[in-house]
Structure 1
Amino acid sequence: MPSNVRHLTSAHGDASFEACVVPYLDAAYNLARWLAHDDADAQDVVQESMLRAFRYFHSFHGGDARVWLLAIVRNTFYSLRAKTASDAAHETIDEETHVLVDEQPSPEARALISVDIEALQTALENLPHPLREAIVLRELEECSYKEIAAITGQKIGTVMSRLARARERLKTELSHCSTEACRHDVR
């Protein structure tokens, strides 16, 4: 994670901020990465989010610091996105960041696993932002429906609906990908 963010907390010596918020830096980056589609943009979002969290830490009155920070990350992303009139987010996937490292499978098995991961990443990238953020918060960050509702400012019913739609779209796209693979299978 950005070292200048870690340095900021120790430079100001605010141990309670460091104890409450900094442990969730990886979760903040993960959400920012999925929203921004780009490592550099995600780092910018996280850095700005941590600055905002630090600046307004006095207004945090307990509760779940992870939910509080993820809400700041989400809001920061959309604020920064609104400032840049173009939504020309980079659609490339940094494969080096998302490589599955496993020395057990054979090269053939690794190739198949790679295709599956690439298909899942592509399917996630193709989801609209509201559906992507819901599925990332639920499945990757393991937030509860209530936590997702707090982070996104939506009702729990809306969160559940978005998750259902996101899962259905992922299922459809991934089953389409596997059908395509079977069609091209040489036997």
Structure 2
Amino acid sequence: MIRRWRARNHAEREFERQALAYLDGLYNFAMALTRDRTEAEDLVQETYFRAFRGAAQKLPTGDVKAWLFTIMRHIWINDRRRRARQPDAEGLEVGEEEPGRAVMADDRHRPDLLHEQNALGEAIRRAIESLPEVYREVIVLRFLEGFSYSQIATILGCPAGTVMSRISRARAELRKRLSPYVYGEYAADPPHGGANGEGEEKRLRRGGII
């Protein structure tokens, strides 16, 4: 009995350690969904609360990271459905996308590609921010968090083909929005690189985002 209890205790602590390692990634995803810092923080907190509560009953097996992201999206979708029937005080339907909210606006949670103190880095953030939610979430899951197509399909509850289609369309939209910074008047260096660097286009393509 004592051995089983100790083993269970150790397994729970190990699960908590693994789960907390994904805090920044979950915050990124929460920001992509909500586009609001306060809501994102609440969503992360609720995700961990439910994950730890569930783990206390039965520890998850398999991919802990994908499991956490799936919990978060279920919470978000269910909360939107619950609130969608009532407009907020300003007349904006809950779940309707409000312009001007910043995605991944906190320096602590930016991936390397976005953590650039120049016009291109800001353009990338704004371009992702301007995408519809279905495109924002696949961009974050694929290129920021490194999930496979099959993992994203599980998290979103849709076929892998749908994920691939959304990613393709999201990248096409990002190319349009970022073209002035890659090829046009805001480009920091020539499109195909030069003596001092590989070029904005190649760096973005290497990162996979376009």
Q: What is the TM-score normalised by the length of structure 2?
A: 0.66
Which ranges in structure 1 are unaligned for 5 or more consecutive residues? 1-12, 101-108, 183-187
Which ranges in structure 2 are unaligned for 5 or more consecutive residues? 1-10, 85-93, 111-115, 187-210
Alignment correspondent of 2:77 = 78
Q: CA RMSD in A?
A: 2.7
The amino acid of 2:76's aligned partner reads: F
Higher relative contact order (CA 8 A, sep 6+): 1
Q: What is the TM-score normalised by the length of structure 1?
A: 0.73
1:92 aligned to which of 79, 101, 124: 101
Q: Secondary structure at the match of 2:176?
A: helix
Higher Rg of the two aligned structures: 2
Deviations 1:66-111 (A, max 9, x none): 00001111111222223333235553338962498xxxxxxxx95x
Deviations 1:104-159 (A, max 9, x none): xxxxx95xx1x212221111111111111011100001111111111111111111
1:80–1:118 Cα change, 3 Å: same
1:19 CA drift (Å):
2.9
1:34–1:95 Cα change, 3 Å: closer
Distance between the aligned counterparts of 1:126 and 1:54, measured in 2?
A: 34
Alignment correspondent of 2:208 = none
- Identical aligned pairs, as a percentage? 37
Structure 1 segment 99-114 matched on structure 2, within 5 A: 113=118
Structure 1 segment 172-183 matched on structure 2, within 5 A: 172-176=176-180, 181=185
1:125 aligned to which of 125, 129, 148: 129
1:26–1:180 Cα change, 3 Å: same
The count of aligned residue pairs is 159
Distance between the aligned counterparts of 1:65 and 1:95, measured in 2?
A: 23
1:32 CA drift (Å):
0.4
1:163 CA drift (Å):
0.6
Q: Secondary structure at the match of 1:122?
A: helix
Q: Does 1:163 align with 2:167?
A: yes
Cα pair 2:101 2:129 within 8 Å, conserved: no
1:142–1:18 Cα change, 3 Å: same
Compare the two structures and name the one with the higher helix fraction.
1
